[in-house]
Structure 1
Amino acid sequence: MIAHDITCYQLHRFGPMISRVISYTDLDFDEKVIPINYEEQQEEFEFSEYDTLDNVNLQIVDTSNINDCGYSYANLGSDTLYNDGLSIGESSKSNEEQSAVDHDYVSPGGSLYWTPEVSDHIKPKIKSVYDLYVDAVRMYRNYALEAGFDVRLGTLRTSTYKVITERHLFCNREGKPNTGKVDTLDIQHNKPKRRKDSFRVDCKAKIVLKIIPGTVKYVVQDFTKKHSHALFSKETIHLSHAKRILDYAHGSFIHNMSKQNIGATKTHRFYTGITGCHYDQGLVSDFKNSTRNLNCYIGGRHSKFLIDKMIERKKYVPNFTFEYRVVDKKLNTLFWADETTKFNYNAFGDVVSLEATFNTNRYNMVFVPLNGIDNHKKCVTFGVGMLSKEDYDSYSWLVKAFLTTFTKPPTLILSYQDPTLSKAIKEFIPTTQHRLCMWNITKKLPKKISIEISTNLEFRNHFHGFIWNSKIEPQAFEAGWECLLREFNITNNKWLNAMYRLRRLWIPTFFKNIPMSGLMRTTSLSESQNCRVEIPSRYILKRWIRNVIPTELLKSLSHDPEKLQAYLDDQHKLKKKYIDDCPSNELTTRDNYYKNLLNVTIPNVVDIENPSDIRNKGSGSRGKRSKSKNEMVQLQGLKSKRLCASCQQMVNHDKRNCPLKNKDN
């Protein structure tokens, strides 16, 4: 009766059985027919380790409702019974969209097993011989990719000469998850651990490779094909680990896009749009992980990589200049210029625009481009500097490096209003005239005078009408300035009076005899050099492009799904053929991968550290950039005005913050 009980229990687990008739034979009993009612079958079965299923013949007589459990089963005969389970003669096809193949094997304990359906020339065969170890491993990985599962390296045995003698390759869901309990009060277990084994289901699929003694060839000694889990389908195979591995081309593309300040998400959308398919390209998370891994690899060697790369370029690139300074083992300042920038300076270097923009890099170093204008009114670059601080010492070093590179000083330098920069220019380039940027001065006007006056249209027309006019005489400008201040009752404004004293440094009428070469008023061209490369979202495809298949083919194949699928299959085969024929570009180690990607040499000693503790305007604090007064005034102006109960005016403050109330107190 043991066999009968097991059979009842086994079929009881498969689903709601309304009426079953099971015939069995045992060594001590004649053939009997016993009806089983699902609702009445409630007993639990316990088996000892001595119970067996030998000499048992099972046959399902009534299969009217056997598909209620979600799977279809074939009749079970004596030829389908094994010691380790029951083999179903025909696998179900009702769930093809969920896995590559449905389960086709059921054990006595009710466990389901899946056997991949692949071509015979791809399937591994026992006693097959391969010339090299890598060929055998590649064979099994290709088989796993076609079958719909991932591979994990297992047992490795080597000889005394470090030659691999035996290698086990498992399904990546081999083994059991770690369900051990952790004492959370123990200090040693406070560190969180990744749950990297939670997906394991003790799958037994594997292959065993062994070396043939006296040769370098390997033979397949053992091969287990059945899996204890569902396999990837064609629609979900791109989610497998093998399909999500990014090669060198992916890494190079991600790195080049990151140098243009384009993040991983937009990079992934770009790449899938260019290639025309979102499969086989990795996921967005893979692109993010690639960027993270690259940044972790660079780590504290960023400055060292940069210096070594620039020095190497200085050796091999003709007429390339590079200067740097290290303070307390940390990179402090940089300056470089190549042959093209030197040619531009010799032709158009009479007027130089120097603007230390406040758009900094990740280390908060200030970007300082030196630009000019060519004969076509286009911006040209003469050199580039990076400073850790905007102080006299840094600007002095930059000016001296500029003179060492170009020897001939410019006729005029146009910069923003910075006393330390002005002092450095006067000391080291006394023959060069220095002028201030008008735009940097006029943009301060709203916060230096009242909002009512700065937004007054008549005041703005008069003010900008004669300060930007380079054709009037200096006496006319001075008279117009005094009249304007008296008309709007701002003669006592300290900032306007200070700007009037500096009028010879920024009003065009006082240096209209100097050829400004298109840089007469502003240094905006310098600031545009440091702008981020932003690509509008309308130029980035959110999905794959439509013209992957030529239009004429799409029209002829759109009404014939079979021909369309055959065309796509031929395309994939052709692509795979050329990829397989190409030599492998795989790099053996991670260091070699990043070394080739960054084009750097791994330093033995890091003697130059990354800049740190830099405080400049725009660098921010604790991850948040501090706002300037101008930004706060602009944000204040965007707010809707309301009636103040104290001054009875439509303003941006309330009674509690009214200036009249504070003045009375």
Structure 2
Amino acid sequence: MDNDLSINDVKTSVAIVAEINISENLVAEVVNPIDIEFTPKLNMQFDTEDEAYDFYNAYGGKVGFSIRKDYANKSRKTGNITISKFVCSKQGFRVKDKRDIHTRKPRAETRTSCSVLMQIRYDRKKGKYVVYNFVESHNHPMIIEECTHMMPSQRRISVAQAIDVELACESGVPLGNAFESMSRQAGGRQSIGYTKVDQQNFLRTRDRLDSDEMITNIFWADSRMIIDYGYFGDIVTFDTTYKLVQSNRPFMAFLGLNHHRETAVFELALMYDETANSFAWLFDSFLNAMSGKAPQTILTDQDGAMAKALAQVMPRTRHLLCTWHIMANAQKHVGTIFRNDEGIKSVLSQFMYCYDDKDDFCIQWDVMLRDYNVVGNTWLNNLLGLREK
């Protein structure tokens, strides 16, 4: 046997031995080298709970295990955290899901009831958080140093990476393509420091919070709305014409008709802006609230960002344009062109209700453009491109 083993060979061998020992109900510790200054100690002090968490997370990253916050107690009087407990991510066991019996490939158990933890409590006299309990010994192998940066508690999207993700999203680049491109720039997936799921979660969080971490987009649907949607949600109108007077933020509604031809409200939303990302978040939230049931047909205005989001989130839903919005936009864009007794509404109504044949529609449209001398009108040409809606 060759005695010249590399460090990687040794680490691999140790990890294999550790796994064998655990399978035989023996405890094996495989620990990455760590400086004594990074090891928690009893009575160690921190200014804030976040500072204690970051310290313990850095320690976990160097040793080779991921951490999570198990619980935190708050004072009823002040609302400040008095006791907090950080544990190894393999602590305890996952709660049994009753739906597992219907799952073809249930998730494998990854926890080992590891007892490693660090507990802190607030000392009023010192005005500090003090470590009062620390358990160091694991019952499972550690992650090798080359892979610790991809553990859940260690993954981070840096400011520079966040900017790249946002630019790619706003430019219409698919998230998968953007992730692969950034991975190559970083030297491979193992070096980028986050996963595709982290990237998706970042964009969702960004769409809900502003720079001050305040809520931006919100929607609500009560039980009555959800029940009504189950009965009458085949055709839905998404109305964005309402505005809040003070903040001027879009107030939107998902509406329909019940069996008495009365308006049924399925969902309401208060939005920070009307970007494609915000609309995608809203439509995705709508589907989640309605158990994944998408409407067969949805009627909206001519907003391009909305159309992009609908195609992404509800690809099988037929997207049509609301005639009321078309008329309102026509009055605004070309109302001055049709200043005769008929008016723009009368002219466009013919194309909405009178021509079922495609050839007849196109012939009469060309006649209308020539009669009113608007052959090169951009808005009308764009409207013609949307005639199927």
Give me the TM-score of the superposition, normalised by structure 2: 0.54
* Alpha-carbon distance, 1:236 to partner: 1.9
- For 1:204 and 1:321, locate their aligned partners in 2 and report how far apart those are by CA, in whole Å: 50
Query: Is 2:45 aligned against 1:129?
Result: yes
* Alpha-carbon distance, 1:95 to partner: 3.0
Equivalent residue number for residue 311 of structure 1: 243
* Alpha-carbon distance, 1:299 to partner: 6.5
The verdict on how the C-alpha distance between 1:274 and 1:409 changes in structure 2, with shifts beyond 3 A counting, is farther
Unaligned runs of 5+ in 2: 209-216, 222-235, 257-262, 267-294, 305-317
Q: Which residue identity is paired with 1:95?
A: V
Q: Which residue identity is paired with 1:167?
A: S
Report SS of the residue matched to 1:364.
Answer: strand
Equivalent residue number for residue 119 of structure 1: 35
Query: Is 2:180 aligned against 1:269?
Result: yes
Q: Residues 59-70 of structure 1: matches in 2 within 5 Å?
A: none
Unaligned runs of 5+ in 1: 1-64, 72-91, 332-360, 371-386, 414-424, 445-494, 531-615, 619-665
Equivalent residue number for residue 152 of structure 2: 241
The verdict on how the C-alpha distance between 1:513 and 1:112 changes in structure 2, with shifts beyond 3 A counting, is closer
* Alpha-carbon distance, 1:205 to partner: 2.2
- For 2:165 and 2:67, locate their aligned partners in 1 and report how far apart those are by CA, in whole Å: 26
Q: Indicate the larger mover: 259-268 or 189-198.
A: 189-198
- The answer on whether the counterparts of 1:102 and 1:114 sit within 8 Å (CA) in structure 2 is no
Equivalent residue number for residue 117 of structure 2: 206
Equivalent residue number for residue 220 of structure 1: 131
Q: Which residue identity is paired with 1:311?
A: K
The verdict on how the C-alpha distance between 1:205 and 1:322 changes in structure 2, with shifts beyond 3 A counting, is closer
The verdict on how the C-alpha distance between 1:515 and 1:399 changes in structure 2, with shifts beyond 3 A counting, is closer
- For 2:163 and 2:240, locate their aligned partners in 1 and report how far apart those are by CA, in whole Å: 21
- The answer on whether the counterparts of 1:100 and 1:116 sit within 8 Å (CA) in structure 2 is no
Q: Which residue identity is paired with 1:214?
A: K
> Which of 91, 116, 138 lines up with 2:54 in the alignment?
138
- The answer on whether the counterparts of 1:364 and 1:388 sit within 8 Å (CA) in structure 2 is yes
> Which of 497, 503, 516 lines up with 2:375 in the alignment?
516
Equivalent residue number for residue 411 of structure 1: 337
Between Structure 1 and Structure 2, the one with more helix by share is 2
* Alpha-carbon distance, 1:263 to partner: 4.1
Report SS of the residue matched to 2:52.
Answer: helix
Q: Residues 438-477 of structure 1: matches in 2 within 5 Å?
A: none
- For 1:151 and 1:270, locate their aligned partners in 2 and report how far apart those are by CA, in whole Å: 30
Q: Residues 540-555 of structure 1: matches in 2 within 5 Å?
A: none
Q: Residues 374-453 of structure 1: matches in 2 within 5 Å?
A: 394-395=322-323, 398-400=326-328, 402-403=330-331, 405=332, 409-411=335-337, 427-429=342-344
The verdict on how the C-alpha distance between 1:152 and 1:412 changes in structure 2, with shifts beyond 3 A counting, is same
Equivalent residue number for residue 86 of structure 2: 169
Report SS of the residue matched to 2:68.
Answer: strand
Equivalent residue number for residue 282 of structure 1: 194
Q: Residues 473-492 of structure 1: matches in 2 within 5 Å?
A: none
Give me the TM-score of the superposition, normalised by structure 1: 0.35
- The answer on whether the counterparts of 2:74 and 2:81 sit within 8 Å (CA) in structure 1 is yes
> Which of 67, 79, 84 lines up with 1:151 in the alignment?
67
Report SS of the residue matched to 1:95.
Answer: helix
Q: Residues 625-640 of structure 1: matches in 2 within 5 Å?
A: none
Query: Is 2:298 aligned against 1:364?
Result: yes
Q: Which residue identity is paired with 1:399?
A: M
* Alpha-carbon distance, 1:170 to partner: 1.5
Q: Which residue identity is paired with 1:171?
A: C
Write out per-residue CA displacement over residues 618-657 of structure 1, whole angstroms, 9 at most, x where no aligned residue: 7xxxxxxxxxxxxxxxxxxxxxxxxxxxxxxxxxxxxxxx
Q: Residues 636-655 of structure 1: matches in 2 within 5 Å?
A: none
Q: For the pair shown, which has the larger CA radius of gyration, 1 or 2?
A: 1
The number of residues matched between the two structures is 311
- The answer on whether the counterparts of 2:237 and 2:255 sit within 8 Å (CA) in structure 1 is no
* Alpha-carbon distance, 1:517 to partner: 3.5
Write out per-residue CA displacement over residues 384-436 of structure 1, whole angstroms, 9 at most, x where no aligned residue: xxx9856xxx5356324643x46x724369xxxxxxxxxxx985438979998
- The answer on whether the counterparts of 1:113 and 1:226 sit within 8 Å (CA) in structure 2 is yes
- The answer on whether the counterparts of 2:237 and 2:299 sit within 8 Å (CA) in structure 1 is no
Q: Residues 516-595 of structure 1: matches in 2 within 5 Å?
A: 516-517=375-376, 523=381, 525-526=382-383
Q: Which residue identity is paired with 1:365?
A: L
Write out per-residue CA displacement over residues 125-154 of structure 1, whole angstroms, 9 at most, x where no aligned residue: 232222333222221112112222111223
Percent identity for Structure 1 against Structure 2:
12
Q: Which residue identity is paired with 2:323?
A: Y
What is the root-mean-square deviation of aligned Cα atoms in Å? 6.1
- For 2:107 and 2:364, locate their aligned partners in 1 and report how far apart those are by CA, in whole Å: 70
Query: Is 2:366 aligned against 1:506?
Result: yes
- The answer on whether the counterparts of 1:101 and 1:114 sit within 8 Å (CA) in structure 2 is no
Q: Residues 580-619 of structure 1: matches in 2 within 5 Å?
A: none
The verdict on how the C-alpha distance between 1:295 and 1:195 changes in structure 2, with shifts beyond 3 A counting, is farther
The verdict on how the C-alpha distance between 1:527 and 1:173 changes in structure 2, with shifts beyond 3 A counting, is farther
The verdict on how the C-alpha distance between 1:227 and 1:325 changes in structure 2, with shifts beyond 3 A counting, is closer
Report SS of the residue matched to 1:220.
Answer: strand
- For 1:140 and 1:245, locate their aligned partners in 2 and report how far apart those are by CA, in whole Å: 16
Q: Which residue identity is paired with 2:153?
A: A
